[in-house]
Structures are given as structure tokens and as C-alpha cells.
Structure 1
Amino acid sequence: MDEMTQLRELRADAPVPDRAALAPGRERLTDAITGRNRRARGLWADWRVASLGAAVAITAAALFITQVVDTSAPRQSAPATVAGDLDLSGPKAALGRAADFLDRQEVPPEPRPDQWIYLRAVGGEPAQPTRKDGSDSGMTGSVGKSDPDSWIPYDDKAAENDASDTDYRTARESYRIAAALPENPEALLAKLRKVFPTGSGAESPRESTDEHSFRALTVLLESYPIPPDALARIYRAMATVDGVEVTDHLIRDASGRRVIAVTRDHDEGATRSEILIDPVDYSYAGQRYVVTRTHDLPRLHGTPPMVYQRGDVLMDIARTKVAVVDAKGQKP
């Protein structure tokens, strides 16, 4: 069976453009899978600032999913897909090709205020995390299982008026923010940095311009739906952010699919963030946080420190289905 046929069968039930109200939560991984799209900027800070100490260690223990990046996968620079041959030689090539494809798609009508966003997402939930070599990760506890299906109101007035989280936007707000983004990448990034401001304190430290831009792009990409022409502009702007890379082969996400990984190392700390993109329709497919340097993180009460090894995946969330539906509880 050739690769194009495999990919078609793998993604046969997937909807075409993608964009969801899913964000990795700091308090519980299950909140990230089924909760509101609250983007905790502290999650980024946890892996950038070692001085957060014991409080961060507890949070990390709740979120940590010890999987290991598959470095044994064959390197492929241009696997065939339904969307066309991929070019994973760099961010401008990969994201530029994705943008060209999306520009050719028809823009569907905006959802009605009374409609809902159906979302299905999965993530690894090991009861006793281990690494590729079978060794104990040093973690205790596990992430509780939850229903992978969730429904988010498209028009949520109460959430729209809640100013407590500067990163949160309802699905309708996100749609309109995306639709109004300028064509020029520099202007687009500047606008998103204003929409999703950077921090100003120890719990949420100020970011560099490029790190701020990448986080803002990530927050918006988690929403659904995004008009395909707007998604094209987002991808072109993402390719201009300093430090952004594209893994030169498809990786496996939490659901087992092969996806494109757009990555950026955090400016401080020893981790990187990865935005996952479907290679068939170039929709947002999830995200991961990966350790880039082996290091220890102290814990409370004199217990041995958690040892993070290079290649450990701290969080791995795959969005496997998303659609606009007419009622809560309805599935496409």
C-alpha cells in the first residue's frame, strides 16, 4: 500500500479545515482536553523559569506524560499527501505550501450564535510512566481519564465578558479576530501580541517578542473554526518568527497519526513547544511540550527531584475531530 492510500485511510473520517477551542491547561490535563479554551500562560513559564520551584513541580507532576520522541522514524522530506507533496525542508517551505493550499479552499459561512463546537481530543494517560528504555521516570500519580468529547458554545456571552484570563477568547471572538488579521506578517504578529498580551510578573514573566508571537499564534490556532484564508495568513506569519523550525519528517501524535511538527525552543529553560498540523488538509492537529535538555526539578519535603530527560514529552494532546453542530451533545 502506498503512503497516499495509507494517509487517506488514516484520516478518512476527519473534517476539513480545523481550529478548536482547546488549550493545554495548567491545572489538569483533562481540563485541556474537555474544558474551556483557557490558555494558561503559566504553563510556558513553568518550563522556562526554574525558580518556580515546588509549586511548579506539583503542577508538572499532574501534567507530565512520559513519552519519548520517536527518533527512529525514517527521515522523509516529501511524503505524499492528499493536499500535495510535502516540503519539510524548513518553515517557509512547509508553511508556505500549507498556506497556498488553504488559499484555494472555499470559505464556509460563520457559525450561527446558537451553534456549538464539537471537539474530540486524546492524550497519553499512563498509570505508571516509563521511558523508552523501560526505566522509571521518577513521577508519581497519573492523569485521570475523562470523556474525550466536549461541546463549546460558539457564542458564549458570559465567557466573553470575563476579563480574568487575558488569553481566553470565545470561539466567536477567535473567529472574528482571525478573519480580520492583516495580510502582512509583521502587522499580523503585532496585532496578535496585543490581543494576547505578555506577562508582567513572577507567575507570568514577560516574553521576548518572538516567544510572545509564537505563543499568541498557538492560542489562536487552538480555536475552531478559523476561515481557511485566515489560517493561510497565520501560517505565513508563523514562518517569519525567529526560532521557528519544522521537523524534517512526520511524527506520531498522541492518537498515532503522522503529523507535521512546527517547533520553537523556549527562550529560557529546557523545553520546546510543538504545534502539530495535519499533513492532509493542513488543519491544527494538537500540540506537545518536549524536553530538550536533561535536567532535575526539585520537589517538596526532601523527596528526590524529578529527572527530565531529553526527549521526554511533557504534554501530548491530539485533536482528532472537530465540527460545528446544532446542539450540545450532538456528534457529526
Structure 2
Amino acid sequence: MNVDEMKDVREFRAGAPKPDRARLAKGRDRLSSAAERGRGRRLRADWRLAAVGAAAALTAVAVLAYGLGGGGHSGAERTVPATTRTVPGSVKEVLERAASTLERADPGPTPHAGQWIYEKELSATPGMWPKSTTQPEPEPKPRERWVRYADPRFENGKEGDDRSMRERLRFLDELPDDPAAVLKKVRAYYPSGKGSTQSEGEQDMSGLRVLFASQPIPPQTLAKMYRALATVPGAEVTDHLVRDLAGRDAIAVGHDDKGQKIRREILIDPHTYQYLGDRWVVVKDHKVSFPGADDIPDRPWKAGDLMFQNALLAAGVVDHKGDRP
């Protein structure tokens, strides 16, 4: 693989949160390393393949655009309600409303080989690294990238879990209607691997989070994914709207498992039910130590801290790399 190819692979996997130094001290988390270096490896719970953002529906010019709706920020703030408005209903009721709405939407055009997926997003890992002599993390800035819809390097049988967008969308297009059958297929598509300690709910959430970052997902398919998400063991909806990194109101659907320290959340627009991004929320006070690194202090985390945030600002299908919808 030459320099240009390596650059494209990094862009394909850009946005994945970097492993913390505790993991680096142990040889790096294998899949976070794969996300940075472009190596095809098996999915793990903390792997985020952020190749492109998901979209529920496209306009006639195959573009999905979200307004920022407020200034983004990277501080590790508490997850207090963004508004007094509540999110009524159980996770199944909320996601059924979303699915029913999406089923009535225009499916939009389908991308084809030779086209590119455009994405603009905002990401932040506030406080991921322990405080040291390094400069504090700067305020996040919107990032644009272009990914081939059909990339032969990810369709050669050697890519492991690094599937092209065309492959992922074909998989999604074949999802059954039954939520249990959807989760079964997702587990098979993104297995947790031998020796994994993941619970079934954690594995479900890991695979779905990867697939939500596919583009463009037809609204009818997104409806199936929402119904499947509602049946993930441990899935819960936050009873109030939260603010995403871009300052927008969002419905937060996360996975709560006994003993876990971090909740992974999918963020959904409360009006259109489009995918807005995701984030990691600390749910249990703990600290991270760095064995063998005496100069690095322990990193404390408090319940409510935001460890990782990603906000999809705009996405679309274009004919050439560098084009914008």
C-alpha cells in the first residue's frame, strides 16, 4: 500500500476515538489501533468505525444537511437536561414513533459506483488524555471528508471488518423485518471475537453503532434498525432531551448494563428522527491508571462526564472527491 492509499484508509477510518494511554501502555487496544492504521481486525466493544454518517432520507440532489443549532464545545460537562421538555414513553415506544415516521418518508436515490460520500462532522474527546505537560485539547472544529462509495480495497476479501460503504448498505438492504432477526444478523456480521467478555447487549450496541454510521441509509431501513435497537438487552432512552456537541436537542438511546462504567448512546433528532451522532457517557465514578508511566497521573472520571462526542453536521452523495452537496 502506497502513501496515498494509506492516507485514504486513514480518512475512511477517521474520527475513531483514540485509545487511552492505559491501553497504549498495554500495547494499544487492537481495534482502536486498527482504526488509526487501517488494519482489518475483528470488532470489539470500544471500536468505532466512523467512515461516514447515517442519514434517514435524501433530497432530490442526494444531500442531507443539518444545521449546527448552537455552538459546539469540548468540555467534559455533566449530562444535565438541555431543556425542560421530556421524552415521553419507554425506549420501545419512542423508537416505534421514530420508525413509524420514517416508514412514510421518501426513500431517496441510491448512490452508485464511482460516486463519493461526503461528510461534515464535529468530534471531541474531552479529557481523554490525562493532564500533563501537553497543551489542552483545542475546541473542536468541523471536519470534512470524502469516502468512495464502492472502494475495491475494502471489497477484496482481505478487509476483515473494514467493509466498503456499498457492502454495508447491501447488508442493511437485506435486513429482515423482525427485530430479533436483525440483531442476530448484526451479531454475525460483527462478531465480538473469541474470548470476548461482552454481554449480548454490548455486542448488539457495538455492531449497530457501526451500521448507524453508514450513508445513505434509506428511511425504511433505518426504521428496522430503530426497532432492533429498542430490543437490545439493556437499551434505555433518557427521559429528557440532551444537547449534542453541536448544541442541538437530541433523543439519547443508550445501553445500560450492570457493572459497566461507560454508556454508549445513539443521538436522534427529536423531530425528523434522523441520526445525529453518538457519544460516550461515564455512568460510574472511576479512575484510570497508567502502569509503567510514573510521569502520568491517574485520570479520574465522574458519573456524567462526556468521554467522547461525535455530531454529524452534513452528509451527501457527490460525483467527485472534493465536491460538496
Do both share a fold (TM > 0.5)?
A: yes
Instruction: Report what 2:109 is aligned to.
Output: 109
- Distance in 2 between the 1:210 and 1:232 partners? 19
The answer to whether structure 1 residue 149 and structure 2 residue 140 are counterparts is: no
- Distance in 2 between the 1:252 and 1:33 partners? 27
Query: Which of 292, 304, 311 is the equivalent residue of 2:297?
Result: 304
Instruction: Report what 1:190 is aligned to.
Output: 184
What SS is found at the alignment partner of 1:88? coil
Instruction: Report what 2:131 is aligned to.
Output: 139
Is contact 2:122-2:142 (8 Å) kept?
Answer: no
Task: Report the Cα offset of residue 147 of structure 1.
Answer: 6.2
Is contact 2:153-2:159 (8 Å) kept?
Answer: no
Is contact 2:252-2:265 (8 Å) kept?
Answer: yes
Q: Can you list the C-alpha shifts for 1:39-62, whole angstroms capped at 9, x where unaligned? A: 98456289xxxxxxxxxxxxxxxx
Q: Which stretch has the larger CA shift, 216-225 or 157-166? A: 157-166
Is contact 1:291-1:311 (8 Å) kept?
Answer: yes
Q: What letter is aligned with 2:78?
A: V
The answer to whether structure 1 residue 229 and structure 2 residue 220 are counterparts is: yes
Q: CA RMSD in A?
A: 3.3
Q: Can you list the C-alpha shifts for 1:118-166, whole angstroms capped at 9, x where unaligned? A: 000002376xx59xxxxxx953445576760000110111122263542
Q: What letter is aligned with 2:218?
A: P
What SS is found at the alignment partner of 2:264? strand
- Distance in 1 between the 2:46 and 2:288 partners? 15
Instruction: Report what 2:281 is aligned to.
Output: 290
Task: Report the Cα offset of residue 226 of structure 1.
Answer: 0.8
The answer to whether structure 1 residue 313 and structure 2 residue 306 are counterparts is: yes
Q: What letter is aligned with 2:168?
A: S
Q: Can you list the C-alpha shifts for 1:79-136, whole angstroms capped at 9, x where unaligned? A: xxxxxxxx5322111100010011001212321111111000002376xx59xxxxxx
Q: Summarize the Cα distance change of 1:274–1:193 in structure 2 as closer, same or farther, 3 Å threshold.
A: same
The answer to whether structure 1 residue 171 and structure 2 residue 165 are counterparts is: yes
Instruction: Report what 2:53 is aligned to.
Output: none
Task: Report the Cα offset of residue 225 of structure 1.
Answer: 0.8
The answer to whether structure 1 residue 95 and structure 2 residue 95 are counterparts is: yes
Query: Which of 223, 233, 238 is the equivalent residue of 2:229?
Result: 238
Identity %: 35
Structure 1 residues 14-25: aligned runs within 5 Å:
24-25=15-16
Stretches of 4+ aligned residues off by more than 4 angstroms: 21-24, 31-43, 142-147
What SS is found at the alignment partner of 2:293? helix
Task: Report the Cα offset of residue 311 of structure 1.
Answer: 1.1
Task: Report the Cα offset of residue 258 of structure 1.
Answer: 1.1
The answer to whether structure 1 residue 69 and structure 2 residue 67 are counterparts is: no
Instruction: Report what 2:46 is aligned to.
Output: 44
Gapped runs of 5+ residues in structure 2?
A: 1-11, 21-32, 49-73
